[in-house]
Structure 1
Amino acid sequence: MTRRRVPGQRAIIDRRALTERISALASGDDDNRQAIVTALREALDAGREELARRLLEKPSAGHDCVAGHAFLIDQLLRVIHDYVTAHVYPVPNRTAAERLAVVAVGGYGRAEMAPHSDVDIAFVTPMKRAPWCEQVIEAMLYLLWDLGLKVGHSSRTIADTMRMAKEDLTIRTALLEGRLVWGDQELYEELRARFWQEVVKGTERQFLTQKLEERNQRHKRMGDSRYVVEPNVKDGKGGLRDLQTLYWIGKNQHRVETAADLVDVGLFTQTEYRSFRRAEGFLLAVRCHMHVITDRAEDRLTFDLQRQVAERMNFADRPGKSAVERFMQFYFLQAKRVGSLTGVFLSHLEEETTRAKVRTGFFAGWSPKSRDLKGYVISGGRIRAPSDDWFEKDPVRLIEIFQLAEAEGVEVHPETMRLADRDSRLIKSKVRKDPRANALFIELLSGRNDPETALRWMNEAGVFGRFVPDFGRVNAQMQFDMYHHYTVDEHTIRAIGLLSETERGLLEKDHPRNTREIHKVASRRAIYVAVLLHDIAKGRGGDHSVLGAEVARELCPRFGLDQKETDLVAWLVLQHLLMSSTAQKRDLTDPKTIEDFVAEVQTLERLRNLAILTAVDIRAVGPGTWNSWKGQLLGELYDAAKERLRLGHKRRGRAERVDAKKAVTAEALGEKAYLVEQAGELLSDAYWIAEPEDIIAKNLIQYEEARRIEDHLSIHCEVDEERGASLVSVIAPDHPGLFYRMAGGIHLAGANIIDARIHTAMNGYAVDNFLVQDLNAQPFREDTQIRRLKEGIRKALQGEGELVPKLAARPLSHLRAKAFEVAPSVNFDNSASNHFTVVEVTARDRPALLNRLAHALYKANLIVQSAHITAYGESAADTFYITDLTGSKIKTPERLAEIEAALLEAASDRKQRQLESA
């Protein structure tokens, strides 16, 4: 935003030489228009190549790059203008109406252009356009379009421009940055004078309000967080547009010409301005690299671009952190800085406006009453430090200010945020060890009002990371995958907020069990500290759960937690993934699953805390990550584990459990209760234990129907609101390959399988139940969807067409997954179940995956008893409970190695990638 002199200008474009070349072409007798366009295009291409070369040499020189591109366009416009006015439409003696000013507006007016930015121009004429002006403008535009430039243009008189600027905020903003490129200087000066006098004067506050509202709406469209993992560099929160908004407001209020002038008018300190320039320069460089890589105006920093930009900007791998993660961490630190600068800037403007506002009438001489709290001043819903050296006198106050803000339900004044940011360096070892500081921090962390917001302020001010250096290490750290939506620090702060909302009863609808149980925990502060520390060791090059438990053992005593609380927090951090992994990847009807889980959990207190931590952790990953199916799985695991922990054994043996289920099912069936004896006897105890009573009742009615119809194939689909999915039950004569064909048919219908239970009755009928969702993790509700689902399964089972080619041809639901390498892996566990071998396959998620894995198991002569499918963004973890054809576990190393090889081949996405790139 500061005007820069572009170095090495003639190496970018030599205007004199280009003008001479075009004049020579224009002076010939022939129509040389095409040759002139070629000369201009060659100059444009050469200039872009030179600037791209410079960007590679100095990959962080964002200001130089954008100024260079603006200079290149300036020179081309001047050459084009002179060519058109001298050779195409020459007028020896122009009238007063035959005057034209070519004005750069918007980003181009700021002399700030990325390689493929729009060329925003205003053609200004003194009065109703003369034919000559229209001809010149049209000729210039055709030449610019022939060069392949995207031109945003307007052609207006000064009077029209003033009228439209008053009515349209976008036009007013663009003119605010107007700059004469070429043409009539006097006309331009008149435009500027009238703009400031007629449009700006007296409307400064209105403009401020409108721009801030425009910014808020833009943030909402972009996700309303500066920590989204695929940020928009231009329009996202903490992006270039936020910096530009500050400049626009400052220029409109104070008529500053450059961003540096914001220091002179007191809106920034010199240090803040340097920070402004660093953030702006980095973001501009990133945007320029994106334009060069994609060869288009691309502003969204997608996963595939992140790798390439990181490489071009010379970020390297470090232990525990890849180059792309280091690059994105630096990116988010700049975005965070933009947020801090915005707060400071707006607080100054607010104070200016408040001072300028004269109260009249009844309120004359009245000002809002302030009150004192422990030396701080609370006024207008904000708390502020009373003096510039307040934190220097006692650095513990840097913790206290945020604790008081949370307890009192007030905001921290932006000016005090500025002081806290400046003085955060005062937090050293002595402050970290101070018992009072730690007590205040724990009081804030477990606050009863809104700890999330206060902790976010604390993080924005740089105090959080200084006081808890381990947290500082994950500050702005992204997780380079499609599962996590936020940086580690943002995810953690959101999780703390969700924990607080759970405790306050705000999430009772989704988490009724946790809302009850959180009030029974032995230590509130222990669960809050566990949520704070659960991801604290990410990016350290090892198992973050193990390393995090070690961090917890160091930090908890410092925070003032006793030994019992420390042990609990360390265990929770160590095992914070245990419950979600067990619930989503294991068969909860298998008694061994519950036995193993309870053996690790050991106490009801641990179970209660782990359940709460698991729910807030999943939910804080991002929008849509939590759903009722996950809630049901976690609830089933919790209830089963709680029963075992309270009673010390299973309440009922296998036979008793089967009899109890039969009794409940018979009652639910009413007049069809005879089916429990008639059809139910054909189903093994494993079926009765595995399936819920409501599904069993439906299966038995459906089985009776299947026996009656000609092909004995019955497909039933219905929405299961409680489980957040659609239930698909298929009953048919069993035959080899039934499961993999069903899986293929379901996916061809556009559904994702999230759970599958496969059973075979004693008379050879297959009874298979699937829970499926659409690509948005919602049940299939529409009649057309359900019809398509049934048709897909029927065609697959009847062998109509080859499944694999059709599946591979389906587009991947996450096209962004192509940016990731997911090495397939296969793990066997013969101790997780008493009756089955459990095999877990992890691979890149794609349409044909489940079908191919099931097909590989079928070809290996294995029987799948149940399947559990879990998606983590770009990767999928599919777990199968299997036996051989005799119903036995697979134990011999040779056989396991053979199965592993077959599954790895099926999990490989080599063919899929070939199809995608074809």
Structure 2
Amino acid sequence: MSLATADAARSVLVAARAARTAELDRWLGSLLTDGQVPEDVALVAVGSHARRELTPGGDLDLVLLHRGRADVAGIADRIWYPVWDSGLRLDHSVRTVHEARTVARGDMKAALGLLSARRIAGDRALADELRAAVLADWRADAPARLGELSSMCRERWDTQGELAFLLEPDLKEARGGLRDVHVMHAVAASWVASAPGGRVREAHDLLLDIRHALHDVTGRSTDRLVLQEQEAVARALGLLDADVLQRSIAEAARAITYAASHLWRRVDRFTTSRARRPAAPSASASPGADRRGVERRPVGDGAVEHEGEVVLARNADLNDPALVLRVAAAAAQAGLPLAPATVDRLAERAVLPRPPWSAGARDALVSLVGAGPAAIGVWEALDQAGLIVRLLPDWERVRNRPQRNPVHRFTVDRHLVEAAAGAAALTREVARPDLLLVGALLHDIGKGWPGDHSTTGAVVARDIGARLGFTEDDVRVLETLVRHHLLLPETATRRDIDDPVTVQTVTAAVSGVPGREREIIDLLAALAIADGNATGPAAWGAWKAGLVAELARRAAAALAGGTPPP
């Protein structure tokens, strides 16, 4: 199916939501007025109805506002009973502005709903008064409320997982889902951070369309996209298949997660600064401080730390082809995030290395992934800015690529980065740490091409190795690592390692680079550990690790011309 088909399918869903919202507004307004407009009463929508995002399975969430009218119960019955009779699910309340304001200050869910309140019918001034009062309270209480909201989000993420990497995700509640965008708007309403940008809005709209299609396909108000529904949902959206659907979800969710991470860092700085306001800078402030007295601490060549993020130094040379990787490596090695504005500037203006890369650019890449887990967030920042696919064009094939089995925790590209980050802890076990790190980063690169991913991946790794400027022998080692990255775990768990033929099979496989066979065995053993741990608990454990280590030991002894000691 073409992109035009998908766009047309999504346009139909957008129009359907708009039409349904307009129809509901007219009907609910007629129930309130009943031929006459009552004074001092307003019907207000909150939640998805207020945002005009009501999908077929969505609930109505309504508030009937009044100014202390004694007959408000009768007016409420005039609205609630027809809604119930229609079969729509309804969450309702009857409040004065003071009551609604009190509830919002004590109930986070109510506060978030009322922040998006929209008048449907009735007294406009009353509805405006409610919204202004709730916003004023939200902004006045921001230090405490945003800390509470942050804790709620983290608890939800722990429960629901990360949308981009789930086989059967909850489109609304998982990390990177619709709920996170609503929360971002709430934080923006406090004036602590800016409203979500265009990429986040596009990601939100895509997830909303997927949720809409899911409700249409299932006829239920579910937000969990289970495997058996994914093909039908993909067709409803004009997409080729479930893989394309999951890849689209992963891309959208990662854009939201990345933006939300930056937003919560701003919130943390805000709440911390409110709790501990620094004194104004004196005339004797250090030269590295800016006009607000904030230190700019050097963390690498061309990079400085500023307010907990890494930014470009004033003398950074944007024409230096290694600058992007060097600044990224400095951030990862310091355990700090890259400032989004810095990433954007690098993407727009910095010169990138041309193949074959210089030793400086290659060393910076190795330093980046060699930082361990801290490299993952920095890599994600570069990826969100489109820099990774410009540095490594073959990365596009595995970017956001789903792995539709319960063994793998991540998409292919994220698995590769996780494996490389895990390999950083094993660099002391091998003679060539740089080849281990790059091999881990590329070991599943063949999953973007048809056929056996180890075979196709070896060809791609050979091309990338040459692009990175490795020597011909090193390129052949990388090619061997990728081609045989499953050799040790598969052989150790499927064959008898006491059989001499088993060891001969392993030593024969690594004989393609004369003189470096032992080095390759050590690299494969370390790569097996990094790959298994990055895959998930079901892929690696003590039993498997023991077998792989013993097979590697016996192969190394055979290459040395002897037998392994007991």
Q: TM-score w.r.t. structure 1 length?
A: 0.54
CA distance in 2, matches of 1:55, 1:524: 45
Flag the 1:550–1:62 CA change in 2: closer, same or farther, 3 A: same
Question: Measured at CA, do residues 186 and 444 of structure 1 come closer, stay the same or move farther in structure 2, by a change above 3 Å?
Answer: closer
Distance, in Å, in 2 between the alignment partners of 1:229 and 1:432 is 38
1:247 aligns with 2:193: no
Match of 1:479 in 2: 403
Residue 527 of structure 2 is aligned to residue 613 of structure 1? yes
1:229 equivalent in alignment to 2:143: no
Query: Does the CA contact (< 8 Å) of 1:594 and 1:641 recur in 2?
Result: yes
Report if aligned partners of 1:69, 1:112 keep a CA contact under 8 Å in 2. no
Matched position secondary structure for 1:538: helix
CA deviation after TM superposition for structure 1 residue 77, in Å = 1.9
Aligned counterpart, 1:176: 115
Residue 533 of structure 1: CA displacement? 0.9
Structure 2 partner of 1:370: 296
Read off the aligned partner of 1:621 and give its amino acid letter: T
Tell me the SS of whatever aligns to 2:158. Answer: helix
Alpha-carbon spacing, 1:56–1:291, altered in 2? closer, same or farther (3 Å): farther
Aligned pairs for 1:426-505 (under 5 A) are: 427=352, 430=354, 433-447=357-371, 450-501=374-425, 503=426
SS of aligned partner of 1:180: strand
2:549 is the counterpart of 1:638 = no
- SS of equivalent residue, structure 1 residue 69: helix
8 Å CA contact 2:337, 2:377 repeated in 1: no
Q: Deviations over 1:550-577 (max 9, x none)?
A: 1222222332433332222211100112
SS of the residue corresponding to residue 119 of structure 2 reads strand
Q: Distance in 1 between matches of 2:332 and 2:279?
A: 36
Higher relative CO (Cα under 8 Å, sequence separation at least 6) belongs to 2
When residues 215 and 155 of structure 1 are mapped into structure 2, their CA distance, relative to the original with a 3 A threshold, is: same
Aligned partner letter, 2:393: P
Structure 2 alignment gaps of length 5 or more: 286-292, 512-516
- Look up the match of 2:456: 547
Q: 1:241 to 1:65 in 2, by over 3 A?
A: farther
Distance 2:407 2:276 in 1: 53
| C-alpha contact (below 8 Å) 2:163/2:177 kept by paired residues | no
| Helix, strand or coil at the partner of 1:620 | helix
1:156 aligned residue (92, 95, 115): 95
Distance in 2 (CA, whole Å) between partners of 1:621 and 1:385 is 35
Q: How far did 1:329 drift?
A: 2.0
Q: How does 1:230-629 map to 2 (within 5 A)?
A: 230-253=168-191, 267=194, 273-316=197-240, 323-342=241-260, 359=277, 367-372=293-298, 373-386=300-313, 392-423=318-349, 427=352, 430=354, 433-447=357-371, 450-501=374-425, 503=426, 519-601=428-510, 603-629=517-543
CA offsets, 1:391-434, max 9 Å, x none? 7544532222101212334332232133234457x54x737744
Q: Which residue number in structure 2 is paired with residue 37 of structure 1? A: none
Larger strand percent: 1
Aligned residue in 1 for 2:10: 59
| Counterparts of 1:349 and 1:431, CA distance in 2 | 41
Distance 2:135 2:379 in 1: 43
- 1:122-133 equivalence runs, <5 A: 122-127=63-68, 130=70, 132-133=71-72
1:110-132 Cα deviation digits (max 9, x unpaired) = 121111111111122222x62x3
CA distance in 2, matches of 1:540, 1:93: 65
Q: Which amino acid aligns with 1:471?
A: W
Q: What is the letter of the counterpart of residue 115 of structure 1?
A: P
Cα distance in structure 2, aligned partners of 1:278 and 1:61: 16
Structure 1: how far apart are the matches of 2:191 and 2:280?
Answer: 29
Q: Please say if 1:72 is aligned against 2:10.
A: no
Q: Report how many aligned residue pairs link the two structures.
A: 548
CA distance in 2 between counterparts of 1:201 and 1:452 reads: 34
Displacement, 1:625?
Answer: 3.3
Shift of 1:171: 1.2
Distance 1:645 1:440 in 2: 34
**1:179–1:381 Cα change, 3 Å:** closer
How far off is 1:232 after superposition? 2.3
Matched AA of 1:593: T
Q: 1:167 to 1:615 in 2, by over 3 A?
A: same
Kindly indicate whether the alpha-carbon contact (under 8 Å) linking 1:451 and 1:497 is maintained by their aligned counterparts in 2. Answer: yes
Output the CA distance in 2 between the equivalents of 1:644 and 1:360.
65
> 1:375 and 1:533, CA in 2 relative to 1: closer, same or farther beyond 3 A?
closer
Secondary structure (helix, strand or coil) at the match of 2:222 reads coil
2:416 is paired with a residue of what secondary structure? helix
Structure 1: distance between partners of 2:6 and 2:82: 28
Compared CA separation, residues 72 and 420, structure 1 to 2 (3 A): farther
Comparing 361-370 with 535-544, greater Cα deviation is found at 361-370
Give the corresponding residue for 1:823. none
Task: Return closer, same or farther for 1:567/1:477 CA change in 2, 3 Å cut-off.
Answer: same
Query: In 2, are the aligned partners of 1:347 and 1:415 still within 8 Å (CA)?
Result: no
- 1:881-916 CA-to-partner distances (Å, cap 9, x unmatched) read xxxxxxxxxxxxxxxxxxxxxxxxxxxxxxxxxxxx
Aligned to 2:144: 206
User: 1:196/1:483 Cα in 2 relative to 1: closer, same or farther (>3 Å)?
Assistant: closer
Give the aligned residue type for 1:487: T
Percent same amino acid at aligned positions? 26
- Is the contact made by 2:119 and 2:127 (CA closer than 8 Å) also made in structure 1? yes
Alpha-carbon contact 2:64-2:76 (below 8 Å) kept:
yes
Pair 75,220 (structure 1): closer, same or farther in 2 beyond 3 Å: same
- 1:173 Cα deviation after fit: 1.1
- Unmatched runs of 5 consecutive residues or more in structure 1: 1-53, 87-91, 255-265, 317-322, 504-517, 653-918
Distance 1:218 1:355, change over 3 A: closer
Are the counterparts in 1 of residues 369 and 424 from structure 2 also a CA contact under 8 Å?
A: no
Is the alpha carbon distance of 1:201 and 1:315 closer, same or farther for their aligned partners in structure 2, counting shifts above 3 Å?
A: closer
1:711 counterpart residue number:
none
State whether residues 60 and 89 of structure 2, in contact with CA within 8 Å, keep that contact through their aligned partners in structure 1: yes
Paired residue type of 2:194: L
Letter in 1 for 2:481: L
Q: Counterpart in 2 of 1:681?
A: none
Sort the Cα spacing of 1:551 and 1:69 in 2 relative to 1 into closer, same or farther, 3 A.
same
Say if 1:622 and 1:93 are closer, same or farther in 2 by CA, change over 3 A.
Answer: closer
Please give the secondary structure, in 1, of the residue aligned with 2:381: helix
Deviations 1:846-868 (A, max 9, x none): xxxxxxxxxxxxxxxxxxxxxxx
Q: Which protein has the larger Cα radius of gyration, Structure 1 or Structure 2?
A: 1
- 1:300 partner amino acid: R
Matches of 1:607 and 1:334, distance apart in 2: 40
The one-letter amino acid of 2:466's match is P
Letter in 2 for 1:68: A
Task: Name the CA distance, whole Å, in 2 between partners of 1:55 and 1:460.
Answer: 23
Q: Which amino acid aligns with 2:468?
A: F
TM-score for the superposition, normalised by structure 2: 0.85
Matched residue, 1:103: 44
Moved more, 101-110 or 346-355: 346-355
Deviation at 1:308, TM superposition (A): 1.8
Contact 2:146 2:267 in 1 (8 A): no
- Quote the Cα distance in structure 2 between the aligned partners of 1:400 and 1:369: 21
Counterpart for residue 693 of structure 1: none
Q: Distance in 1 between matches of 2:508 and 2:535?
A: 28
